[in-house]
Amino acid sequence: MSDIDTASRRLADIRARIAHAAALADRDPAAIELIAISKTKPAEAIAPLIAAGQTGFGENRVQEAEAKWPALREGRGLRLHLVGQLQSNKAKEAVALFDAIHSVDRPSLIEALARAMDGAGRRPDCFVQVNIGAEEQKGGCAIDGLPAMLARAGDAGLPVVGLMAVPPADVEPAPYFALLAKLAKRHGLAGLSMGMSGDFETAVMLGATHVRVGTALFGAR
């Protein structure tokens, strides 16, 4: 099978599973954006998925994305998402390259992104990342710090469209997805970036608007 056939087959499978989960939850599948997480994958592995019709991609490192994407996306109308921790000193590069940033999680980064957006005259969609399982080693703001973080992002003029989280590994993710959905609703945010290869159907059933799928589309990293 050609690389494009393999990519097409995987993409059709993931799309069908999203549509099925959406139908079970009485949701419109068109309201769910599939982001193909291409971190660590070389351009040759990504090109077949672009050829198969995938338009949204995600990376977790600014430098890696800067090396791969300008050539890959050229003239193609793709949308690029940053899903990894962002250092404030990379805010300018991130704002220049990405269409959405899913890892806004602290005041210093909010200020750096606001300055970068003002300078670039470009305002990528922002998701505030929540440390939904209160894990020490994880990125994201604490749940009880979320109201202040959203207020600060609003004051700084960031276009916050939703919340993002990665639930703790190796436990049932549904309660964490439900909690993130509750928090988004409480704050009047429509966007919910949640769900990865192992749990995106559950996330869709609980309201995800953006699912971030890597290995199920590209194979193991």
**Would you tell me which residues interact with ligand PLP (CB under 6 A)?**
37, 39, 60, 83-84, 166, 196-198, 212-216
Query: Measured between alpha carbons, how far is residue 199 from residues 51, 72, 84 in Å?
Result: 26, 28, 18
Closest approach, Cβ 78 to ligand PLP, in A, equals: 18
Tell me the residue nearest to ligand PLP as measured from the CB.
Answer: 214
Closer by beta carbon to ligand PLP, 83 or else 158: 83
**Neighbouring residues of 49: CB distance < 8 A, sequence distance ≥ 6:** 7, 10, 11, 36, 38, 217, 218
Rg (CA), the chain: 17
Nearer to ligand PLP among residue 124 and residue 214 (C-beta)? 214
C-alpha to C-alpha distance for 114 and 25, rounded to whole angstroms: 37
User: Tokens in use for 4?
Assistant: 């494009």
Smallest gap from residue 149 Cβ to ligand PLP (A)? 18
Nearer to ligand PLP, 147 or 198 (CB): 198
- Other Cβ atoms within 10 Å of 171 Cβ, number: 10
Q: Which CB sits closer to ligand PLP, 13 or 118?
A: 13
Tell me, what amino acid is at 46?
I
Q: How far is the CB of 28 from ligand PLP (least distance, A)?
A: 23
Q: Which is nearer to ligand PLP, 94 or 166 (CB)?
A: 166
Helix-strand-coil split of the chain, %, nearest 5: 50, 15, 35
Q: How far apart are CA 57 and CA 82, in angstroms?
A: 9
In whole angstroms, the minimum distance from the beta carbon of 84 to ligand PLP comes to 6
Min CB(40)–ligand PLP separation in Å: 9
